[in-house]
Amino acid sequence: MALETPLQENKKKGGPSKRAFRQMRERRREGIIKKASEYSKLCEADVCLGIRLRGSGRVYTFLADQSGIWSSFESHLEKYYPTPIRRTIENIPRSRNTQHGRQDSETAGDKIESTKTM
């Protein structure tokens, strides 16, 4: 049995509207980009994330790459239409606290550094 998407559910049961589906998709995209950013900072890793919406062909990229290993990926997308929406580690909003009282990566990283120096 195939999994149903929220759009299919909308047609059958009167579930979420197209607007609600777009908002959910945007929240999930922003969430995965935020997680990739946190992973890059906390694990000292180069991260490259690409998301392509099948329906519209719209491409979103996130790049946290200090070594330049993923630069060929970015240059490959320069000719793509519609133009990809590019995000980097510099344009991710920095919040002080996240949900459920957990600290964000910056604060957690500061605490890790302070324990290392003791």
pTM of the model: 0.62
Where is pLDDT greater, at 4 or 60? 60
**pLDDT exceeds cutoff 50 at 106:** no
- Please give the structure tokens belonging to residue 21: 């589906």
**pLDDT exceeds cutoff 80 at 102:** no
pLDDT tens digits for range 26-64: 999 999 999 999 999 999 999 999 999 999 999 999 999
The edge-to-edge listing of strands for the beta sheet with 47-52 is 47-52, 59-64, 85-88
Of 27, 95, 91, 85, which Cα lies nearest the Cα of 64? 91
How confident is the model at residue 111, as a pLDDT? 44
